[in-house]
Structure 1
Amino acid sequence: MHYDDWQENLHSICGHYYGVAKPRQRLIHGRVDAHKFDTLDVASVAGDVDCIKRDRAGIKRDESEHIFFLFQLTGQLKVRHNNNRVILNPSESLLLDSTKEAELDFDSAPGHLISLHMPRSTFLAASKHEVEIGLKMCAEHPMAATIQKQISNFALGGKVDGDVHKASSDMLLNMIQLAFSNVENVEPNYHPGVNEDRFQFAIQLIESHLTEDELTLDWLADRMLISRRQVQRVFQEANDSFAKAVRSRRLKLVAETLCSIGSQSKPARISEVAYYVGFRDLSNFNRGFKEQYGRSPREYVSDHSTTVPG
């Protein structure tokens, strides 16, 4: 396949990730194909490019945000992501955050990886514990074979064993959340030296507790082991505030949920979705949604489905 065609397929399926060809390379021995696991996109990425990169420009160009579950089928992949450097061998996997820079190095040899695309806000909000981004799950992990069989058999058209039954997409996401959960408290290992690190940690806590009523400024200060005033200063130095950070991410979670309403046999009402996410004042929710997305929630649903619950 010509490099330009391979790159175009990568963009159309995975967003603005950029394949970097080797010097004078015009042909790619491999291809990028799209598959489905229920409503979730699955990408099959095979090739012998030098690497795939995700930079700040690519992040800004993509409207949708995802957590990608990557697992290596063949070859070796060197991944730099979320301040981690890992090497993926066949049957090993990791989570990749589309809002963060990444480099996937094919190590000068052909490789084949699979990527399951999970809506970022939905995935993080549903996780009961902080999930490990950029750290690999080894092939020997108890959940590894089960997760990979589900994707290989029911998304990629692999041979289905008689004892393997298809999980729902929600069940598959739950398995991945469990496999990558850090069930230990993170605070004992948390010693940020600057407010930039504290801000990233605060955002991580917000995103993993987004739908919980306990998510308040005092709760966040307690989890970060600093005072309420210090938390406010952390957000001020990032030109943000706790209230704005929570509100924008809750609106994003609502938007992700509304995108899937049309495919549900018994779709939830918009007001129910808003309440579940954490909005208690529907007028404030409707006003904030229109400010962030330029249209009302009902108009947003209309753009993504033919059914508009009240």
Structure 2
Amino acid sequence: MTNTAYHDPVLLQACIEGLALKPGGTYVDVTFGGGGHSRELLRQLEGGRLIAFDQDPDARRNAGEVNDPRLTFVAANFRHLKRYLRLYKIDHVDGILADLGISSHQIDTPERGFSTRFDADLDMRMNQSGEQTARKVLNEYPEEQLHKILGMYGEVINARTLAGAIVAARARQPIETISDLKGVLQRYAPRGRENKYYAQVFQALRIEVNEELTVLEEFLTQVPEVLAPGGRLVVMAYHSLEDRLVKNFIKAGNFRGDIEKDLYGNEIKPLRGITRKPIEASAEEVSRNPRARSAKLRIAEKL
């Protein structure tokens, strides 16, 4: 399987340029996926080392096809960044790349349950050994908790009403497949905007199942400790919830975005933003790779 069939890397050159590569440096790709970004990193590094993380077994198989001694693959979630770098006796790295969200391959694999285009079990696990699934969330969460995740993570307009409808539907029979869920959703979706509505609900479930925002916060808080002075952080986000966390952390070193100052009025923050506004894909790239449409790339440097 080639990496292009798996996932066409978004904003590839902007990511590599954002890392400001040092030929013999040590870099981390925390979302290996199909390996598109990692392969380009290895191609442009003259020596150095690349540590790549991914919890998905498909990504591990892809990494096995990269015959390069400079690559170390870690089959783990990137929330464990510091722990594994310590295991490999790496104190600091020169750059970290994170391409957040879900890969095209995961969406296009029907049995993973990520896409509204297919019928399959409601799974949505990025780590297939994890216990939480979308099916469990829909059938076991109390109504108030469903309301919360639909509203917060999916920004669903009628989240409270939909949460009640899900609880009522599951009382009649369990919601186990994508078609079961769509059968509940179709009554509440705005006419003519059904697909967007389904996508918002699926996003909310996926974020909950994989703890995506918690994982991102845990990862970002480790970055300042792991980056060498002058080292670069390059993050690509695909929805406003992720992007807001990244933007605030780069701006202020916390997730509220409130800049703290010391007794002398100096700002206390570990990173400096390189890009004032996020970098977005060109119309040409979006036409070639529709996933790039919502990508927002932010670059920061360790002070």
TM-score (norm 1): 0.29
Q: Which has the higher contact order (CA 8 A, sep 6+)?
A: 2
TM-score (norm 2): 0.29
